Amino acid sequence: MAAQRPEVKAFFDEASNTFSYVVWDPATRQAAVIDSVLDYDAASGRTRHDSADAMIAFVQAQALTVAWVLDTHVHADHLSASPYVQSRLGGKLAIGEHIRAVQQTFGVVFNTGDAFPRDGSQFNHLFTDGERYRLGEIEAMALHTPGHTPACMTHVIGDAAFVGDTLFMPDYGTARCDFPGGDAGQLYRSIQRIFALPGDTRVFLCHDYKAPGRDEFAHETTIGQERQSNVHVRDGVSEEAFVTMRRTRDATLAVPRLLLPAVQVNMRAGHLPPPEDNGISYLKIPLNAL
């Protein structure tokens, strides 16, 4: 795949430590919106579109045409604004085909019944592993990189890789693997696939939490930098050592604050649960189930 260089604009939601992206081909102005955030206040149950509106305003100001509205995986830390972005900007709403596994697992957790399709049909497109597509004149490829979740995809768009939660900045490490369907060994092998990309490939991350000693949030690194200095999975770290580290570390981590609301919405492609007879949508919180 030719090393073409898309333009990338990052947007940061500090409430969830999430980076979202607008990426576009400078020649054709065709764009993708990646990992958008729906603002959600857990105490009041209210949603807002401030974060998504900032991305939408940027796309419109730059006269970009959105071809894709992508989620790299079913996020457990924020609600996706993909349907709202699509309603304002168009484009195909897409995720990896293994969304079906997530829907099966969490369909049981939330007792959704037969009314909730578990076939990925809420999305316009389900990417397969290795699938090639284009963003304007720039070649792109979707890689299945599970381990954090079964449905994680890395999107390689020209010389830029959008890795979701698979990797963090080199000084912070890698994603947790203790969610249902997660697997530390699988994550290690997925990261080796990512590490096979050219060393100068730009890597854009979905989250940052400022590693000890670093005062600024960061969202961009390179494959070469990750391979050389990632504190969890740099070159020379074996799969056995990584799995032991990851399992030990994961056992100390708290459940993400928005896991139940986020997964419940995001497995529906960012759509809220259907309104009940009073016109209001409700989120379900399964007690003592996880």
d(CA 156, CA 146): 15
State the pLDDT at residue 114: 84
Give which of 89, 53, 83 is closest to 71, Cα–Cα. Answer: 83
> What are the residue boundaries of the structural domains of the chain, listed by start?
7-255
Q: Which residues are 66's β-sheet partners?
A: 31
Q: Which residues of the chain have pLDDT under 70?
A: 1-3
Helix axes 50-61, 82-89, angle to 10 degrees: 30
Residues contacting 192, CB < 8 A, separation 6+ = none
The partner residues of 69 in beta bridges, in order of sequence, read: 33, 93
Exposed e or buried b per residue across 83-100, where buried means at least 16 C-beta atoms within 10 angstroms of its C-beta: bbbbebbebebbbbbbbb
SS3 227: helix
Contact by Cβ (8 Å): 119, 61 = no
Q: Say what the pLDDT of residue 1 is.
A: 41
Domain 7-255 has CATH 3.30.465.10: no
Q: What is the pTM of this model?
A: 0.95
Say how many CA atoms lie within 13 Å of 4 toward its Cβ: 20
